[in-house]
């Protein structure tokens, strides 16, 4: 069984705290070995990406979602850190600006989707517009459902027009978040990563988990599947995501564009 | 003397073919050693960039210009390839679209300048609008001068509002370009990199060199200096550029944001 299938969500997924702690790829329980494998996969992603870029045909969209401290930034840095900046773009969606709020919620997202030959990572995404909005009751249950429908239609359009979409939920437990937040607070060098709002959101942990669960169930489609990544272990998380991305890139049968036989006759003066 | 000073343009620079062939940092003439040093510098750039990103204060803009095959793509891949995609962006400016042409020539450029905390690389730039346009007589000599003035004012505004600008001219000789183009033509796997228009532009080599020379002289300012990089040797080119970028980043005295003493008292529940 390939790694992707192993972590694929199901239409009725249940997010259990204990699952965040799984270390399923730790057949040999060595952190060093896991890191080494991830480094190899990261280099493979960079190689595939060079062909993707040359071919200017496929578009790859990676969506990272997860609670605060779940490791979205770390995933970008480690899994995609070896890639050529020319063909990769990481987009971080913050609280929307006034201008963005004056448009539909997919407006700013659509502007950032990958062009042909690009690999784009969304660090947070349009999914925030059905998560925090749902938890804080900013939108009605009916509006949530309408947005699910819009999201599925939007992603289906992207897929039909040549975009490969991989969605990852980085699954950490409430205890793990506690440790990671405390670590940030105890280390003055990490204070820039801390936002007092994180504690307010943490207080709504169960509501967020339920919202994630409902959202994943409603938007897990064949053309834009969710993967649930046990993320209490950072090294396991990176290895799993890197494996799934490599599997997907390999399945695209990427190749350099066809040569021009007439070019072989040209002599440069 | 630091590396940056060594390659700084002068207000009356003359681009000599033979200078493209210099290997000034090859004190020990070993390709392997040069590559190893570049790799170290590339890792240092990635480290600096993490602080730049955390600090959200400085903005770094790198502008790469040069004749076809001069190594702009290779520089992006090798010198900046180790950096975290979250804080780095490579922007490649192609022939302008109809919408872009309907605006002033700096319109599309301004949209892509770095935000606070970002390192952005321009692979070609607004300088194309005073190069090809000048060589092919699309604009008058007066218009060229007006554009120089606009460019200097624009870059001065960026610098005054917190952007550090480094401009690199990758200097190759006409013979070196001949070899590189022929290599692309002889290798079917590299045909995707070849554009028949490259040969037409090559026929205007002297005009392009003169246009570059005039442009560098007119836009070499204290706040946005040009560096002339001997680029016939790819390994030397990478080492020189990486050295200059590291020197500049080191001179910014980057640091993580100040800690919040009150955060140390917070206990996460």
Percent of chain A with pLDDT over 90: 92
pLDDT of residue A127: 98
Report yes or no on B10 lying in a domain. yes
Report yes or no on A264 lying in a domain. no
Nearest CB to A84; choose among B55, B81, B202: B81
Report yes or no on A269 lying in a domain. no
Contact of A189 with chain B, judged by CB distance below 8 Å, is answered with: yes
Say yes or no for a CB contact (<8 Å) between B82 and A82: yes
- Calculate mean pLDDT across residues B15-42: 86
Percent of chain B with pLDDT over 70: 98
- Calculate mean pLDDT across residues B132-140: 94
pLDDT of residue A26: 67
What is the distance in angstroms between the Cα of B146 and the nearest Cα belonging to chain A? 31
Domain hosting B155: range is: 3-22+29-252
pLDDT of residue A31: 85
Rounded CA separation A109/A111 (Å)? 5
Report yes or no on B264 lying in a domain. no
Residue B29: pLDDT band (50, 70, 90) is low
Say yes or no for a CB contact (<8 Å) between A188 and B264: yes
Is residue B28's pLDDT more than 90? no
Q: Tokens 């390659």, residue?
A: B7
> Tens of pLDDT along A95-140?
999 999 999 999 999 999 999 999 999 999 999 999 999 999 999 9
For B3, what's the count of Cα atoms within 13 Å in the CB-facing half-sphere?
22
> Tens of pLDDT along B58-68?
999 999 999 99
Is residue A76's pLDDT more than 90? yes
Report yes or no on A143 lying in a domain. yes
Nearest CB to A121; choose among B85, B92, B123: B85
Rounded CA separation A266/A180 (Å)? 61
- Calculate mean pLDDT across residues A196-223: 96
Q: Tokens 């991989």, residue?
A: A166
DSSP B92-160: E--SPPHHHHTS-TTHHHHTTSPPTT-EEEEES-TTHHHHHHHHTTSS-HHHHHHHHHHHHHHHHHHHH
Report yes or no on A195 lying in a domain. yes
Is residue A30's pLDDT more than 90? no
Say yes or no for a CB contact (<8 Å) between A268 and B181: yes
Report yes or no on B91 lying in a domain. yes
Report yes or no on A57 lying in a domain. yes
Say yes or no for a CB contact (<8 Å) between A191 and B260: yes
CATH number for the domain spanning B240: value is 3.40.50.300
Nearest CB to A178; choose among B81, B181, B268: B268
Overall number of domains in chain A = 1
pLDDT of residue B11: 85
CB A88 within 8 A of CB A81: no
Chain B partners of A83 at a C-beta cutoff of 8 Å?
81, 85
- Calculate mean pLDDT across residues A165-179: 98
> Tens of pLDDT along B223-268?
999 999 999 999 999 999 999 999 999 999 999 999 999 999 999 9
| B35: nearest Cα among B96, B78, B99 | B78
pLDDT of residue A23: 83
Is residue A28's pLDDT more than 80? no
What is the distance in angstroms between the Cα of B38 and the nearest Cα belonging to chain A? 15
- Calculate mean pLDDT across residues A29-48: 92
pLDDT of residue B235: 94
- Calculate mean pLDDT across residues A169-187: 97
Give me chain A's average pLDDT, please.
95
């Amino acid at each position: 069984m390939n790694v992707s299938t192993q972590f694929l969500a199901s239409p009725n997924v249940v997010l259990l705290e204990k699952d965040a702690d799984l270390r399923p790829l730790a057949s040999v329980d060595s952190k060093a070995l896991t890191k080494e494998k991830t480094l190899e996969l990261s280099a493979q992603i960079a190689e595939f990406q060079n062909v993707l870029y040359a071919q200017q045909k496929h578009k790859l969209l990676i969506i990272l979602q997860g609670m605060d401290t779940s490791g979205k930034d770390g995933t970008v840095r480690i899994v995609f850190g070896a890639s050529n900046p020319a063909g990769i773009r990481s987009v971080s969606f913050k609280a929307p600006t006034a201008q963005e709020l004056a448009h539909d919620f997919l407006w700013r997202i659509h502007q950032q989707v990958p062009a042909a030959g690009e690999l784009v990572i969304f660090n947070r995404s349009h999914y925030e517009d059905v998560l925090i909005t749902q938890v804080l009751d900013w939108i009605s249950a009916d509006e949530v459902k309408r947005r699910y429908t819009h999201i599925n239609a939007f992603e289906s359009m992207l897929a039909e027009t040549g975009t490969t979409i991989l969605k990852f939920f980085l699954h950490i437990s409430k205890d793990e978040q506690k440790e990671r937040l405390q670590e940030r607070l105890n280390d003055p060098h990490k204070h820039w990563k801390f936002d007092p709002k994180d504690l307010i959101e943490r207080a709504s942990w169960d509501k967020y988990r339920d919202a994630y669960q409902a959202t994943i169930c409603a938007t897990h489609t064949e053309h834009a599947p969710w993967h649930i990544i046990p993320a209490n272990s950072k090294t396991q998380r990176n290895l799993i995501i890197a494996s799934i991305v490599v599997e997907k890139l390999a399945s695209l049968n990427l190749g350099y564009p066809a040569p021009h036989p007439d070019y072989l006759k040209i002599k440069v003066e």
